[in-house]
Chain A
Amino acid sequence: MVSIENIPVGSKVKVIGYERGRVRSHLLAMGLTPGVCFELLDRAPLGDPVVLRVRDFCLSVRSKDARALQLDWA
């Protein structure tokens, strides 16, 4: 298990599931389903939101929302 704040830019992680009771519909719609891998491309200049490459496109998500994801190193 790894938290979104601790992932260095450029590394790849895998979604293993969702925390219960967190808002996730928009994350699901954007393709962050269990089992998918993504790369952390960038962080915004003020440290948040983060930019991910998932399913061949760039997605920006606030860290607060991304905490709904259970992640692990890919």
Chain B
Amino acid sequence: MRARCNWTGLDVSTPLTIALVGNPNSGKTTLFNALTGSRAQVANWPGVTVMRKEGRWVGDGMSCRIIDLPGTYSLTHLDRDAAIDSRITADFLQHTSPDVIINVVDAGHLERHLYLTMQCVEMGLPMIVVLNMVDEASRRGLQVDAACLSTRLGCPVVSMVASKQQGMASLEAALLGLKKRMPIPKPMPLPEPLHEVCMEIQRQWPDLLKVPARIATAMCLRLLEGDDRLTRACPAALRQQLGPYRQQLAHCLPDEVDVVIADRRYQRCSELVADVVVRCKASPTSWTGRVDRLLLHRWLGVPLFLMVMYLLFVVTMGIGGVFQDFFDWGSESVLVMGFTHWLHLHHAPDWMIWLLPQGVGRGLNTVLAFIPVLMVLFFSLSVLDQSGYMARAALVVDRLMRHLGLSGKSFVPMIVGFGCNVPAILSARSLSRPKQRMITMLMTPFMSCGARLAIFAVFTAAFFHHQGPVVIFSLYLTGVLMALLTGWLLHRTLLHGESESFAMELPPYRLPNMRRVLKTSWWRLRRFLWRAIKVVVPVCMVLSMMVHFNWMGQRVHHTQQSAMGQWGQSMTPVFAPMGIKQENWPATVALVSGFMAKEVVIGTLNSLYDQLHQHRLHHHDAVHEKPPAPLWIAQWHAAVHSLPHHLMRLPHVVWHPLSVTSPMQQMDPGSTKEMVQRFGGSIPAFAYMLFVLLYFPCVSTVAAMAREMHPSWSVFSVAWSLGVAYMVAVLFYQSATFASHPWQSISWWCGAIAVVLLLLWSLKWLAKQRAMRSEVLVC
């Protein structure tokens, strides 16, 4: 049967909007990059955090807006929590109605890819089909007859290898051909009863969903299939009518209506494949199967998975760590120290120095220091993703993560979190479902990052000489336990959802395309930097002012009198139940400064204890600050020299990945003595470490969270982690010192139990309210 084509002309004086639609992994983005070159621009999809990319293609007297839509397997989504990105594609085609669809299909897996093509055909839009990766298909012994497919579908079909830019000329010719005629493929015929019901729905609700008439049938099909978004958008009367329609159809059709519709589409795909695909030779046994037999091996699978994760961690922290000091010290020397020096030379007022170099400069420096680690991480994740291992990794741990309502993919952010929470939060982006992403992101801050390890190292050196490793390990374990507890609790209450049903394609192993890997990583990095700077810089400015001025706005020389110092002192009683005495107020101030970055905690403690130590020794009223010397050149030299130093240490890192972030700034002996004295024992010190572990990741992490989910969830995360930290630290201290004040300890325990019960009850109640409202969780 030869399909008839509807050829309609269209005014092309205005730029055409062309949507790229295809399954995940079909090479859409590669084609997008090939078409638009470097003229691509990135836009955020309104309302959600998944991005679309938009670019321009200009040909002979013709200009097109090309939009790269997220990959999807189907346009129908029954599930309210379906991945945001696959919903975007359906919504875009339905509401924005592009002028032309370019449907990218993988020539090697034509049958499955044509399923989406069938759904696009139903949309009644002009279409060009790009038969991508024909080289890979022919290596597997598959030849696809593009001309025949074109006649059968009723629209141009272009054979291409987008990654090698082969076939670009034919695609451009097809695009230019749009000037003359717009090829609209004819949709497949429906079974008679189904067609009648569709017609009846259209007769009764002519302005159904306010969509153009040509896609009304497609909408009816998706309604009958049970698409969640459409069902909720349609009139209540129609919604009630859908059930009877389905029952009516079930009587005259061989199966239930959604099965019949899918079956019809696939039947047509099989027919097409039978006509256009020629198997030249028996496909050679692919090495994908053999590699899988090893990587998914019953006994070897899990150890190999752990090894890959360890490697990811080592590469990120090792190679990223080599450049970290360079970026950190280098940007500090220029943006903070050099800038300060320059302002001093020009006799700038003090407040300007504290605001600009110490505020803005310090903020930029905090963010810039993340560049190397993040870039390496994004690079490695991208390589893992493109090689096809990520899908296998998800498969290996899926069974374990399911208990928390998560799927295997959530494991990666957690591992990454041990290095640094910021990239961990960002890598949660690869998870498709909003609830999964949120649970994962809310669990991540409890993963003890490298900077926290630096603090633990200093404390264990001062308080626990021999049990150091045990203490640190127990802290890591506490973090993981708290993360699991958080995940479990949220899964059981607020973020409860039907355990996700998942059907995931296992892509064949491929060698990653380096250009694409670099491009994706750079793109992700740029977005992170911009967003983080917007949050971190203002916070740093406020903190800097608080350290150098008192509440009256007067300049102070001793931190004790500054706004920060006074606040720290007034806050200290709050921490008394976990063993911090009033005289140990620097510990509180360090906690506040740790909001900015955990790297700052040791520096703050060092300088405060040092001031107190000097004060005790010399009985001076105030210790005057050293005049600012032109230290920045020395710092710049240190930054440059750090590169070869770290490169030499690289082999060592492979076996001791955590040593990368071991403390750069050791505490002075005087400060250490002062600290040991003021803490007054190892129990309060351990309680303090517990609090540091759990209380608040850092401004950058919270900024990343606010950027990735609804800001109210990042507020929740901050409140939650503060509460957990306080409770764990207090309960530890109270239990450890039970003998000296049993009644006080007992009352703290009772209070904690009451709070937990109240919390559980209110979470349950909130979850129930939310279920009743049954609103879409916008995140």
Contact = CB atoms under 8 A, between A and B. Distances in A.
B363 to A, nearest CB: 44
A18 B259 contact: yes
B255 A34 contact: yes
A31 B266 contact: yes
Interface of B: 73-74, 76-79, 108-109, 111-112, 115, 225-226, 255-256, 258-259, 262-263, 266, 288-289, 292-293, 296-302, 305, 391, 395-400, 402, 498-499, 501-508
Contact of B299 (A17, A31, A45): A45
A34 B73 CA distance: 19
Contacts of B502: 26, 49, 60-62, 65
Interface in A40-66: 41-49, 51, 55-62, 64-65
B505 A58 contact: yes
Contacts of A23: 78-79, 498, 501
Contact of B298 (A18, A20, A45, A57): A45
A17 B395 contact: no
Nearest to A47: B399
A59 B301 contact: no
Interface in A1-57: 17-18, 20, 23-31, 33-36, 41-49, 51, 55-57
Given A25-B76, A41-B292, A33 B399 contact: no
A55 B78 CA distance: 23
Contacts of B298: 43, 45
B317 to A, nearest CB: 27
A28 B77 CA distance: 12
B505 A59 contact: yes
Interface of A: 17-18, 20, 23-31, 33-36, 41-49, 51, 55-62, 64-65
Contacts, number: 131
Contacts of B398: 44, 46, 48-49, 62
B109 A29 contact: no
Contacts of B503: 26-27, 29-30, 59-61, 65
A29 B258 CA distance: 10
A42 B296 contact: yes
A44 B301 CA distance: 8
Given A29-B73, A45-B302, 18 more contacts: A17-B255, A29-B76, A29-B115, A31-B111, A31-B112, A34-B263, A42-B296, A45-B299, A46-B398, A49-B502, A51-B395, A55-B109, A55-B111, A58-B508, A59-B503, A62-B402, A62-B501, A65-B503
A30 B397 CA distance: 22
Given A46-B396, A48-B398, A33 B226 contact: no
B292 A34 contact: no
A17 B395 CA distance: 26
B395 A44 contact: yes
Can you list the 9 inter-chain pairs with the closest CB atoms, starting with the nearest?
Answer: A45-B301, A29-B74, A28-B262, A58-B506, A46-B399, A25-B78, A33-B263, A65-B501, A26-B503
Contacts of A60: 391, 395, 502-506
Nearest to A68: B501
Nearest to A57: B109
A14 B399 CA distance: 25
B396 to A, nearest CB: 6
A23 B74 CA distance: 15
Contacts of A27: 503
B439 to A, nearest CB: 18
Given A25-B76, A45-B396, A61-B502, A33 B391 contact: no
Nearest to B295: A45
A43 B299 CA distance: 12
A26 B508 CA distance: 20
Contact of B259 (A28, A31, A58): A28
Contacts of A28: 258-259, 262-263
Nearest to B398: A49
B113 to A, nearest CB: 9
A44 B74 contact: no
A4 to B, nearest CB: 13
A57 to B, nearest CB: 5
B142 to A, nearest CB: 9
B606 to A, nearest CB: 47
B259 A34 contact: yes
B76 A44 contact: no
Nearest to B498: A23
A49 B407 CA distance: 11
A14 to B, nearest CB: 14
A56 to B, nearest CB: 6
A18 B111 CA distance: 21
A59 B256 CA distance: 24
Contacts of B262: 28-29, 33
A33 B402 CA distance: 26
A25 B258 contact: yes
A22 to B, nearest CB: 9
11 contacts: A26-B502, A28-B258, A31-B111, A31-B115, A46-B399, A47-B399, A48-B398, A49-B399, A51-B292, A51-B296, A56-B109
A25 B391 CA distance: 21
Contacts of B288: 58
B299 A33 contact: no
A54 B78 CA distance: 22
Contacts of B296: 42-45, 51
Contact of A42 (B109, B293, B391, B499): B293
